[in-house]
Amino acid sequence: MWMDQMLFLRSISPQLARTNSAMIRSLIIALGAFTAFQGIAEGIPLDINDPESIKNAAATAAFNMMSYYHGNESGQIPGKLPGTWWTGGEMCMALVQYWYWTGDTSYNDVTRQALLWQKGHNDYLPDNYTQDLGNDDQVFWGLAAMTAAELNFPEEDGQPSWVSLAQGVFNTQVREWDTKNCHGGLRWQRNPLNGGWNLKNSVSNGGLFQLSSRLARYLKDNHTYVEWAEKVWDWSVSVPLIDNSTWSVYDTVNVDDQCKSPGRDQWSYNYGIYLSGAAYMYNLVREMWLSESAHFANRL
């Protein structure tokens, strides 16, 4: 959820976040969390009252994170970390924000190479992985491209824009919207042969909700993307993946019982992905979204 906390703060007040040292400290938390996710447990010296200490800590966290990455080496696959494919998207998202908050361009070429190498047919469905990917895997790369667009990360001449790649993910995911089962929702898996095909999960649907809300805000589009954000939200509440009486977010529902009985597992990143999307919707259209964001924040 650490990345979504950062996106939540920026979505509520982008200008404030740009100048607030608390946001830079959030970057340390984000990079540190990703580094911990990759298995590094070393402490990083940090004085939160010293901007240089913050930047140095961020640089250390980024360096540690990249010690796991070999995609820029000869014979390796750009954008691919050991293990699951989606973590490369999280890596790129973290590095784009690292560049934005620190001004350090050391990893820009590697980040750009990874984002473009894995783009598939401009939709982050690369042929080498398509059969194994879930909708949640794809959306993490879409959110990375969306982050690059929002923060004006340098693009490469002759290549698709970052926002067009995010739109490519959106366009392929809305085609996966399954009205034959449970009156809507994305399945977890794209391939019927994969385990989990019968499940519809929060991170896939929350990811589409967040991507829709961010595209709406970035493109100042109050129609298609807003409508899809609202559709995903309403469906998530109706199932319920989101219980709007307690503001619990459950991990999955099952098409075998028409999504009537949500699984009771709860994970923080499911909360974060919906919270961030609600905050972007508030930033764009106001209305009910402040209370929805506040409910999630209070629940945490």
pLDDT digits (tens, 9 = 90+) for 91-101: 999 999 999 98
Under the banding of pLDDT at 50, 70 and 90, the label for residue 22 is: low
Please tell me which residue, 261 or 79, carries the higher pLDDT value.
79
Question: Domain 177-299, what fold?
Answer: Glycosyltransferase (1.50.10)
**Of all residues in the chain, what percent carry a pLDDT higher than 70?**
86
**Of all residues in the chain, what percent carry a pLDDT higher than 90?**
66
When pLDDT is averaged across residues 102-113 and rounded to a whole number, the result is 96
With 90 as the cut, is the pLDDT of residue 86 above it?
A: yes
With 80 as the cut, is the pLDDT of residue 41 above it?
A: no
- Pick the closest to residue 226 from 241, 238, 211 (CA basis): 211
With 80 as the cut, is the pLDDT of residue 280 above it?
A: yes
pLDDT digits (tens, 9 = 90+) for 164-221: 999 999 999 999 999 999 999 999 999 999 999 999 999 999 999 999 999 999 999 7
107 by DSSP, 3-state: which? coil
Structure token digits, residue 187: 């399945």
Under the banding of pLDDT at 50, 70 and 90, the label for residue 42 is: low
**CA 215, 148, 54: angle at the middle one, nearest 5?**
125
How far is it, in rounded angstroms, from Cα 14 to Cα 135?
28
Q: Is 178 left (phi over 0), alpha (psi -120 to 50) or beta?
A: beta
Q: Where are the domains of the chain?
A: 50-140, 177-299
Omega before 240 within 30 of 0, i.e. cis: yes
- Pick the closest to residue 94 from 159, 45, 29 (CA basis): 29
- The set of long-range contacts for 178-183, using a CB threshold of 8 Å and a minimum separation of 24, is 178/255, 181/255, 181/258, 181/259, 182/239, 182/253, 182/255, 182/258, 182/259, 183/235, 183/238
Q: What is the dihedral of CA 233, 234, 237, 241, to 10 degrees?
A: -50
pLDDT digits (tens, 9 = 90+) for 241-251: 999 999 999 99
pLDDT digits (tens, 9 = 90+) for 142-156: 999 999 999 999 999
What integer pLDDT is reported at residue 33 of this predicted model?
A: 53
What integer pLDDT is reported at residue 44 of this predicted model?
A: 79
With 90 as the cut, is the pLDDT of residue 16 above it?
A: no
**CA 88, 76, 157: angle at the middle one, nearest 5?**
70
Under the banding of pLDDT at 50, 70 and 90, the label for residue 235 is: very high
Under the banding of pLDDT at 50, 70 and 90, the label for residue 26 is: low
Query: Which amino acid, 41?
Result: A
SS (H, E, C) 33-68: HHHHHCCCCCCCCCCCCCHHHHHHHHHHHHHHHHCC
Under the banding of pLDDT at 50, 70 and 90, the label for residue 17 is: very low
Query: Which amino acid, 187?
Result: R
To the nearest whole number, what is the mean pLDDT of the chain?
88
What integer pLDDT is reported at residue 36 of this predicted model?
A: 54
How far is it, in rounded angstroms, from Cα 175 to Cα 15?
35
Q: How does strand 248-249 pair with strand 252-254?
A: unpaired
Q: How does strand 199-201 pair with strand 252-254?
A: antiparallel
